[in-house]
Amino acid sequence: MTGVELPLALFLLANLAAALVRAARGPTAADRMLAALLFGTTGVGILVLLAFAGGGTPLIDAALTLALLAAIAGIAFVRRAWTQESEESGDA
Amino acid sequence: MLEYASAALLVLGGFFYFAGTLGLLRFPDVYTRLHALAKADNLGLGCVLAGLALQAESPAVALKLLLIWPLALAASAAVSYAIARRAEALGIRPWRKEEK
């Protein structure tokens, strides 16, 4: 524990909040999905940081699971959900 | 000494995470955003994991931390490839500087 963990976890949380802007704006479904993928990687970072800021090792297992789930969500989105581009990107 | 190396790696990881988020917000189309997300973010994750593995109390915990990284790398590579391919199949054109 170096004292950097908690501030850094907060900083990553602020990053996630900023990424919500992209999820709200779109313009394509993939852009919203990219925000979800960012939640995956950044969420793993936050969880391992919290594990070392006093949360204990179970949080590392949760981080591993989150990484797996983000991958599955991304593949499921591409294979199942994103079959047509309904809202055509106007700002190309 | 180990503490300083760990803290430096953590801060470096935070910087790369910030770069990834900035790219997601500022880049013009889905392909360039994929580029920002798939590389900068995973580098940030690698730096954070390496920094924390330096201060792990047992080798098992450190190894588990370092195992998350290849998993995240493989997952992000596969998902990025799938998204880019599907985006092209759906007719989303890559951003060009000359357009408008």
Q: How confident is the model at residue A89 (pLDDT cuts 50, 70, 90)?
A: very low
Q: Is the pLDDT of residue A90 over 50?
A: no
Interface size between A and B, measured as CB pairs under 8 A: 147
Instruction: State whether residue B66 sits within 8 Å of chain A by CB.
Output: no
ipTM confidence = 0.83
Q: Considering the domain boundaries, does residue A36 fall inside one?
A: yes
Set of chain A residues whose Cβ sits within 8 Å of the Cβ of B68: 44, 48, 60, 63-64, 67
Q: What is the pLDDT of residues A36-75, one digit of tens each?
A: 888 888 999 999 989 888 878 888 889 889 888 888 888 8
Q: Considering the domain boundaries, does residue A65 fall inside one?
A: yes
- The DSSP output letter for B27 is -
> Amino acid identity, residue A51?
A
Q: What is the pLDDT of residues A9-32, one digit of tens each?
A: 899 999 889 888 888 887 777 788
Instruction: State whether residue B88 sits within 8 Å of chain A by CB.
Output: no
CA distance B1 to A88: 54
Count of domains forming chain A: 1
> Given B10, B25, B72, which is nearest A67 (Cβ)?
B72
Q: What is the pLDDT of residues B54-78, one digit of tens each?
A: 888 888 888 988 888 998 898 888 8
Q: What is the sign, positive or negative, of the torsion defined by CA atoms of A27, A32, A33, A38?
A: positive
- A-chain residue closest to B63, CA distance: A60
- Residue span of the structural domain in which A30 resides: 5-81
- Say if residues B52 and A50 touch (Cβ distance below 8 Å): no
Instruction: State whether residue B16 sits within 8 Å of chain A by CB.
Output: no
What pTM did the predictor assign?
A: 0.83
* Cβ contact B86–A30 (<8 Å): yes
CA distance A49 to A44: 9
Task: Give, in order, the Cα–Cα distances in Å from B78 to each of A51, A64, B30.
Answer: 28, 17, 16
What is the percent of chain A where pLDDT is above 90?
A: 7
Smallest CA–CA distance, residue A7 to chain B, in Å, is: 10
Q: Considering the domain boundaries, does residue A86 fall inside one?
A: no
